[in-house]
Structure 1
Amino acid sequence: MKLLIVSLFALFVSVSSCKKSKSGASQNPGDVTIKTKVLAAGLSHIWEVVYGPDQQLWITERSGKISRVNPGSGVVSPLHTIAEVVSKGEGGLLGMVLNPDFQANPWVYVVYDYGSNYKGKVVRFTYSDGKLNSPLTILDQIPAASIHNGSRLLITEDKKLLITTGDASDADNAQDMNSLSGKILRVNLDGSIPADNPVAGSRIWSLGHRNPQGLVMANGKLYESEHGPNNDDEVNIILKGRNYGWPEVEGYCDGNSEKVFCAAHNVVEPIKAWTPTIATSGLTYYGSDLISEWKNSLLLVSLKASKLTQLQLNAAGDKIDSSKDYLINEYGRLRAICTAPNGKVYIGSSNGGDDKILEISK
């Protein structure tokens, strides 16, 4: 009887240790313990979170607001509101990226939807004296809709701007090389077309995308996360000039008609797919020692599944060896994620009311 009581007590302690503590630490069996802190709250539909060269977090809200958040104090400082933004459904002010060479050229790129005929545009602002000014339109007339706008931005080491676009609710356009929809686009920092793009005179880097909302470069590879329909959310490695199948292919090339299309169009299969879907959104790479268990992982946030997923990469970075979930249903829909140089991770929620910036550490 004494042995039974001791065993039951040990089981109780073990189960209790897996629950979230009052300090914000959370743990799942076999996972690393992470500490979660609400850095800022009272925001609405956060779409982007970027760690800036000024050691501040730069964020967008879908209504048109751009702000900076102090990662030490959590103070939110409004920076600029874009008056012509039209927030309709999933559209509005979406992605943002800062020029890596910010000291020489303090450029801030944003992508947003506007107008009565509803289009998307990419605009470059110049930051000076605590303000954004001198807007320059880099790309205009991107098809937009109340759903499927893509709109994640990334600047690569070779100083090219990558822009993800969704199919804007017209799936066939994803395979149309004359349409900007359902693509990953690549332009110079002034909006001109690079000479080494796959097709001369075209901004298109890859095609066949449904709604790509995560983009990160690591391991010499370009990783992308993408919303599927009712099945097959994806993480892909994006290759120059390649086709990713939508709408003829959903996820892997495993259906009979899909196999035929994949063979004929040189389709690249995802390195990970989810059915049922989780609504994959922001994506970042983790290479820090702060949370050593996450080193060489992709970190993905999702909307429908309301969680953070660690995707452990293999040494070559071309396969996912394992995955673990965190923050499940703790903060609602999660849209944006970035990593700071010190290894802390920042996440933005997108519930439409009292949205938060979360800080993840160990």
Structure 2
Amino acid sequence: MKTLIISALAILLCTTACKKNKSAAIQDPILPDAALKTKVLAAGLAFPWEIIYGPDQQLWMTERGGKISRVNPQTGTVTLLHQISEVVANGEGGLLGMVLAPNFATNPWVYVVYNYGTGNNYKEKVVRFTYANGALSSPLSIIDQIPASGIHNGSRLMISADQKLFISTGDASNANNAQDKNSLSGKILRLNLDGSIPGDNPFVNSPVWSFGHRNPQGLIQVGDKIYAAEHGPNNDDEVNLILKGRNYGWPNVEGFCNLSSEKAFCTSNDVVEPMFAWTPTIATSSLNYYNSDYIPQWKNSLLLLSLKGSKLTQLSLNSEGDKITTAQDFLLNQFGRLRAICQSPEGKLYITTSNGNDDKIIEIAK
């Protein structure tokens, strides 16, 4: 078991000053230090990509090779629910995001997104399973034929407060598709839970909610706001506030609209600038919103995991939720690449590693 100390001496993140010369106002923490304990809950995993604290008080997890499992948060026992034989794990592709229907007791639906096929026919789809008696059955295709690649598949799923399914998609190695509203690549998509297109989407008969994304792998709703974490190229990983029908710039804009060519494109295309950006990149991954009294130092914060950065970053929000005021790093290089995060009702956190060799679920408690 390891102990993590949250204090004013925690690493304060230098971010956008690198390329963009803009940064959030960094403030010193007000609350006293809090000692946290980390422990390995489960090990021997292979690229766990998603983790959810389910309504059954169990952790639900995907592994990139095609496994969907439940994990007992008390004992760490991993129980396989289903193996999707159609999954093809090519590079960074495979079985990726997952979300459970909010009214799970009456609609025990489990949505997953995965890649399948080979070569030029490597695709991505979202499938809904029904859970009963410890098993998943009755697969229903929600959306299919999303371009996929060995890199840049996005694939985080979220169900909003108004019961809409949001899907992040990467540019699948074809950057120009991100600006093409007729392509499903480089987008955040919005569907009804049965896969139909909502009538109030910004583009008629289209699942596209926002576009101009490179590889968004974090997606979370907080109140009426939606946040996404996105991989940049060699610079400008981003956290974005996602707005209906808006353009996020890729590949014409990297991070903020500060270069002359970017300024012209941003003006003519109404581009949304990021809330925060990292140069050098940290390979942003999963997002969680934390507002629990369990760890009061982290209240009203986005918690962001990173792969290359190998850390958990606390991003404090202002009261309106439209600005990040403080950034602090934790767990730096303690567990390697970090992929997914979820929270228990009590306020404990669970994160997964993505090292490809004896991956783990780590519990963060106090």
- What TM-score do the two structures reach when normalised by structure 1? 0.93
Q: Which sections of structure 2, spanning at least 5 residues, go unmatched?
A: 11-33
Counterpart of 1:322 in 2: which secondary structure? strand
> Paired residue for 1:301, among 305, 322, 325?
305
Q: How far apart are the structure 1 equivalents of 2:305 and 2:128? A: 27
SS in 2 for 1:33: strand
Which residue matches 1:34? 36
* One of 55, 58, 61 as aligned partner of 1:56: 58
Deviation at 1:56, TM superposition (A): 0.4
One of 247, 253, 257 as aligned partner of 1:253: 257
- Higher-Rg structure is 1
Which consecutive residues of structure 1, in runs of 5 or more, have no partner in the other structure? 1-22
Q: CA deviation at 1:29?
A: 4.7
1:81-120 superposed Cα distances (whole Å, 9 cap, x missing partner): 0001000000000000000010110000000000121100
How far is the alpha carbon of 1:36 from its aligned partner? 0.7
1:106-125 to structure 2, matched below 5 A, reads 106-116=108-118, 117-125=121-129
Structure 1 residues 217-256: aligned runs within 5 Å: 217-256=221-260
Q: C-alpha deviations, 1:53-87, integer Å up to 9, x for none?
A: 10100000000000000011111111100001000
Partner Cα distance (1:75, 1:138) in 2: 31
Report the secondary structure of 1:167's partner residue: coil
Match of 1:12 in 2: none
Residue among 329, 335, 338 paired with 2:333: 329
Q: 1:263 is matched with which residue: 264, 267, 288? A: 267
Task: State how far apart, in whole Å, the 1-side matches of 2:301 and 2:223 are.
Answer: 11
Structure 2 letter corresponding to 1:50: I
Q: Secondary structure at the match of 1:138?
A: strand
> Offset of 1:197 from its aligned partner?
0.2
* 8 Å contact kept, 1:125–1:132: yes
Q: Is the 8 A contact 1:219 1:317 kept in 2?
A: no
Secondary structure of the corresponding residue to residue 111 of structure 1 = strand
What does the per-residue CA deviation read over 1:124-154, in whole Å, with 9 as the maximum and x for residues that have no partner? 0000011000000000000000000000000
Could you say what the CA RMSD is over the residues aligned between the two structures, in angstroms?
0.8
- SS for the counterpart of 1:27 is strand
* Aligned equivalents of 2:268, 2:53: Cα separation in 1: 42
Residue 28 of structure 1 and its aligned partner are, at CA, apart by 5.8
Q: Which has the higher relative contact order, 1 or 2, with Cα contacts under 8 A spaced 6 or more apart? A: 2
* In structure 2, distance between residues paired with 1:297 and 1:178: 35
Task: Quote the Cα distance in structure 1 between the aligned partners of 2:336 and 2:155.
Answer: 21
1:340 aligns with 2:344: yes
Q: Which amino acid aligns with 1:354?
A: D
> 8 Å contact 1:182–1:208 — kept in the other structure?
yes
Q: What displacement does 1:219 show?
A: 3.3
The amino acid across from 1:351 in the alignment is N
**Partner amino acid for 1:26?**
L
Superposed, 1:160-175 pairs within 5 Å as 160-175=164-179
- The whole-number CA distance in structure 2 between the counterparts of 1:355 and 1:212 is 22
Partner of 1:5: none
Which amino acid in 2 is paired with 1:106?
P
The Cα shift of 1:319 comes to 0.6
User: What do the CA deviations read for 1:136-180 (whole angstroms, capped 9, x no partner)?
Assistant: 000000000000000000001111000000000000000001100
TM-score normalised to structure 2 length? 0.92
Dislocated runs of 4+, deviation >4 Å: none
1:144 corresponds in structure 2 to: 148
The SS at the match of 1:262 is helix
Partner SS for 1:261: helix
Quote the residue 2:358 is aligned against: 354
The alignment-based identity, stated in percent, is 68
Which amino acid in 2 is paired with 1:291? Answer: I
Partner residue of 1:9? none
Q: Following the alignment from structure 1 to structure 2, what is the Cα–Cα distance between the partners of residues 150 and 130?
A: 29
> Which SS does the other structure have where 1:162 is aligned?
strand
The aligned amino acid for 1:253 is: C
The one-letter code sitting in structure 1 at the alignment partner of 2:187 is K
User: In the alignment, does 2:184 pair up with 1:206?
Assistant: no
Which of 277, 287, 294 aligns to 1:290? It is 294
Quick one: distance in 1 between partners of 2:40 and 2:302?
22
CA distance in 1, matches of 2:57, 2:264: 50
